[in-house]
Amino acid sequence: MSLFLVVVVILFVLAISDLIVGVSNDAVNFLNAAVGSRAGRFKTVLAVAALGVFVGATFSSGMMEVARKGIFHPQFFSFSEIMLLFLAVMVTDVLLLDAFNTFGMPTSTTVSIVFELLGAAVGMSLIKILTQTDALSLAEYINSGKALAIISGILFAVVLSFVGGVVVQYLTRLLFSFDYKRYLKKFGALWGGLAFAAITYFLLIKGIKGASFMTEDLKKSILENSFWIIVWSFVGWTFLLQVVLWLTNIDIFKPIVLVGTFALAMAFAGNDLVNFIGVPLAGFNSYQLYLAAGTPDPDSFLMEALAGKVPTPTYLLMLAGLIMMLTLWFSSKARSVLKTSVNLGRQYEGAERFDSYAISRSIVRFFAKMAEFVNKHLPEGWKNWVESRFDDHPFVERQQQAGSDAPAFDLVRAAVTLMVASILISIGTALKLPLSTTYVTFMVFMGASLADGAWGRESAVYRVSGVLSVIGGWFFTAFSAFTVAFIFVFIFYFGGVLALALALLLLAFVLYRTHRYHSQKMAEEKAREEEEELQLLTREYLLDKSTRRLRNMLEALESLMEESIDGLEKEDLYLLRKVNKKYKAICEEMGRIKAKSNKILDKVAEEDVVAGQVYVLVVDYLEEMVLHTGHFVRPIVRHVDNSHKPLLPVQIEEIKELLRHLKERFEGVVHLFETRDKKELDSLVESLEPFMKAIRVSRKKQIKRIRNREVGTRNSVLHFNILGEIRNLALFSNRLVRVFEDLILNSSAEKYYP
């Protein structure tokens, strides 16, 4: 009995961990609209959302049944089997959600818990089938009908959410346009009354069904009068908002967004709390039933009572709500996930995190051609009117005036996102379907972004790639949740207490490492952002920034090439793969630098525009040098990976000598930018031709080796490729010297740089 008490305690500890990692991921669901539109200060938005989470947590009682009997039939499992099943689910859930949080990717806590329960239940069922002679068939253990209903409901919600976001946002934008304040007094009260009535309806009526503190008489009274509550709510809110608009110039979309944030946070807690504490509570209920039965043999005591309705204590729900509130307020990982979602929905291009894929390019081309076809067949008057409603210049002007406080999108889209998403999620809660709040809110958000024209020609492929990446992550969630939970059940069943202890140690180690990694990553990002925001973009600052970029990137490229040649000489594939991994990280960093570089010129004073041009050109040439370093590194990796003959020692020595000279040249370029010494410039210019001559000499030596049949074709291809890339890097270093000479020493902005 003491062992199972320990298991219950472990389940609750895992529940706290799951609440923290789960809320960190799902916070994006109800924060992205308010934060992206700047509906209020960040702390104000957090406070409103935290209050909604706490209230919603008390509405979750009915949802807890999903964890107990939604996926499998508990009456066919013994107490010991159920407890191992629940342990496997919780360990998997914490690991999986923490991994997604660390990399800033939103995933679905609902999908993860459903497929973890399914994977663990299937695993335990197979164990019973393999070890027991009187075992049932797999189909009898699994509640396949309910599981399929949940899964199909989630997939249906994805389509419905996207379509709902597109339609409602399109109609709302036609009504208000981007210059929406001009139309507030005409349509604001009516639209706001509809939004508030919808939110009120789902707050009071749909959410009330699961409230653990409501009496049955009060619930019945509210439900019986639901129609009149809707009508009078709409009339009352419309009248109140119209009076406010007559008397003041308040932007009513702000309170709509804040109230919608509260409603969505409440719906999230009411719907998703089961994902975090449902399984531990089911384990606790199982332990209570086991004690009440007089602690019989745990391997034969079947959990028939778990299939019945078991109430959830209100104090446990409130405690869970409190933990969720604190996590929401203090979690840095929640901000990482939030940033990904907001960037995918911003009105303008920039800060694109995802590269374009072939499928995203095909999708964009298809819809671009379809839009062109439709536009050709629309009446000219209608087309011009629609274009005028979707003209976002008023929004762009407001952004420019706001400066660093500019919103990613306006309050109209934020209000639509919150209203549509909260309605859909609350319906799911009322029907006791664990709809994925991530799926619903993300797809509503993306649908509204598409309808609002946010996916323009400059950013469409990257936004589509981002959406496909997130959706792909959802499918990966389902597959990995099922597989890992399935494996853990077998490990715990056959490994016993030792396996459980090792799994918990592994979990603690992974959480510690990911926390350190994420904290370091966030600190570096924050330092970069603070530096960019606090520093005035003066000539000296830009030149210093250019020098630091040069030093850091050129040192990194030098290291990559030296390690590549070491790996080639030793035929060390492990080292070369590490080098290739480092190169990919440098490419990602260079991509981030490049994405921000062109914005520098917009922030530079007229008298310092030449220094801004220096910075942009330095970044451009560094990007080219990174690409050529990739052409240097990757063929070496392939050569060794394919087990081709290594280069001759004399070839390695020739390449190392050229790399030593190239390193001296890189150091000279950095020193030139640091000291601005004309003697250093003259030295670099004079040393280029001897360096090119040394490369030509090495080529001639290789040709001689070919004629003497000392080397084969693969050897020659690799050697000539390495020499060619060293030459290209030297030429680009010379272009950096030209930039310094023309734009810093001679201060001419009229030069053309290829």
pLDDT at 628: 92
Q: Is the predicted pLDDT of residue 111 greater than 80, yes or no?
A: no
Q: Which tens digits make up the pLDDT trace of 609-660?
A: 777 788 888 888 898 999 999 999 999 999 998 888 888 899 999 999 999 9
pLDDT at 376: 72
| 3-state DSSP assignment of residue 354 | coil
Q: Is the predicted pLDDT of residue 465 greater than 60, yes or no?
A: yes
Q: Which tens digits make up the pLDDT trace of 571-608?
A: 899 999 999 999 988 888 888 788 777 666 666 666 66
Q: Is the predicted pLDDT of residue 67 greater than 60, yes or no?
A: no
Q: Is the predicted pLDDT of residue 72 greater than 70, yes or no?
A: yes
Cα separation, 71 vs 278, whole angstroms: 13
pLDDT at 69: 55
Placement of tokens 């989470």 in the chain: 53
Reference 637, options 585, 588, 574, 719; nearest CA is: 574
Cα separation, 259 vs 245, whole angstroms: 18
Reference 491, options 61, 51, 17, 84; nearest CA is: 84
Contact (CB, 8 A) for 355 and 462 = yes
Domain 535-745 has CATH 2.30.42.10: no
Q: What percent of the chain has pLDDT over 70?
A: 74
All residues at 6 or more sequence positions from 657 whose CB lies less than 8 Å from its CB, including other chains = 694
Contact (CB, 8 A) for 528 and 619 = no
Which pair of tokens denotes residue 216?
């049955």
Which pair of tokens denotes residue 341?
């979602």
Q: Hey, which residues does 302 pair with through a beta bridge?
A: 78
Placement of tokens 């209000």 in the chain: 415
Give the chain's mean pLDDT.
77
Q: Which tens digits make up the pLDDT trace of 680-718?
A: 888 888 888 999 999 999 999 989 988 888 888 888 899
Once rounded to an integer, what is the mean pLDDT over residues 256-260? 83
Rg from Cα positions in the chain? 31
0.85 cut: is pTM over it?
Answer: no
Q: Which tens digits make up the pLDDT trace of 199-233?
A: 777 666 555 555 555 667 776 777 677 778 778 88
Cα separation, 367 vs 460, whole angstroms: 11
Once rounded to an integer, what is the mean pLDDT over residues 162-166? 83
pLDDT at 692: 92
pLDDT at 286: 83
First to last CA, the chain: 77
The pLDDT confidence band at residue 368, using thresholds 50, 70 and 90, is low
Reference 282, options 135, 70, 513, 475; nearest CA is: 70
Once rounded to an integer, what is the mean pLDDT over residues 528-546? 64
Cα separation, 412 vs 176, whole angstroms: 8
| 3-state DSSP assignment of residue 749 | coil
Q: Is the predicted pLDDT of residue 334 greater than 50, yes or no?
A: yes
Per-domain residue ranges of the chain: 2-522, 535-745
